[in-house]
Amino acid sequence: MATYLQQLLNGVTLGSLYALIAIGYTMVYGILRLINFAHGDVFMWAGYWVFFLVVLFHLPWWMAALCAVALTALMGVAIERVAYRPLREAPRISLLITAIGVSFLLENLIIVLPWAGGRQKPYPTPAFMTQIYQAGNVRIQGVTIWVPLIAAACLLGLIFLVYRTKVGRAMRAIATDTETTALMGADINRVISYTFLVGSALAAVGGILWGCRYPRLQWDLGIMPGWRAFTAAVIGGIGNIVGAMLGGFLLGLAEILIVAFLPGLSGFRDALIFAILIFFLLFRPTGLLGKPLKEKV
CA–CA gap between residue 278 and residue 258 (Å, rounded): 18
**Using the rule CB under 8 A, is 213 a contact of another protein?**
yes
Q: List, in order, residues 6 or more apart from 76 with CB less than 8 Å away.
A: 24, 42, 196, 197, 199, 200, 201, 203
Residues 212 and 261 sit within 8 Å (Cβ to Cβ): no
Residues 60-89 that bind another protein (CB under 8 A): 83, 86-87
**Using the rule CB under 8 A, is 256 a contact of another protein?**
yes
CA–CA gap between residue 44 and residue 102 (Å, rounded): 13
Q: Which of 31, 20, 135 is nearest to 72 (CA)?
A: 20
Residues 265-294 that bind another protein (CB under 8 A): 266-271, 274-275, 277-278, 281-282, 285
Q: List, in order, residues 6 or more apart from 186 with CB less than 8 Å away.
A: 170, 173, 174
Residue 195 identity: T
Q: Choose the binding region for another protein from 6-14, 162-170, 178-186, 189-197 (rule: CB under 8 A).
A: 6-14
Least distance from C-beta 83 to another protein, angstroms?
Answer: 6
Q: Using CB under 8 A, pick the residue from 10, 16, 26, 195 that binds another protein.
A: 10
**Using the rule CB under 8 A, is 189 a contact of another protein?**
no
CA–CA gap between residue 180 and residue 32 (Å, rounded): 15
Least distance from C-beta 22 to another protein, angstroms?
Answer: 14
Q: Which CB, 14 or 19, lies closer to another protein?
A: 14
Q: Which CB, 190 or 284, lies closer to another protein?
A: 284
Instruction: Give phi and psi for 136, each to the nearest 5.
Output: 65, -125
Strand 138-141, strand 132-135: pairing: antiparallel
Q: Which CB, 168 or 225, lies closer to another protein?
A: 225
**Using the rule CB under 8 A, is 297 a contact of another protein?**
yes
* Residue 17, CB-side half-sphere exposure with 13 Å CA sphere: 31
Residues 146-185 that bind another protein (CB under 8 A): none
Site string for another protein, 104-133 (x = CB under 8 A): xx--xx-xx-x--xxxxxxx------x-x-
CA–CA gap between residue 119 and residue 199 (Å, rounded): 28
**Using the rule CB under 8 A, is 251 a contact of another protein?**
no
Least distance from C-beta 192 to another protein, angstroms?
Answer: 17
Residues 223 and 21 sit within 8 Å (Cβ to Cβ): no
How buried is 237 (Cβ within 10 angstroms: 0-12 exposed, 13-18 middle, 19+ buried)? buried
Least distance from C-beta 163 to another protein, angstroms?
Answer: 27
Q: Binding residues for another protein, per CB under 8 A? A: 3, 6-7, 10, 14, 33-35, 83, 86-87, 90, 92-94, 96-98, 100-102, 104-105, 108-109, 111-112, 114, 117-123, 130, 132, 139, 141, 210, 213-216, 218, 220-221, 224, 227, 230, 255-256, 259-260, 263, 266-271, 274-275, 277-278, 281-282, 285, 297
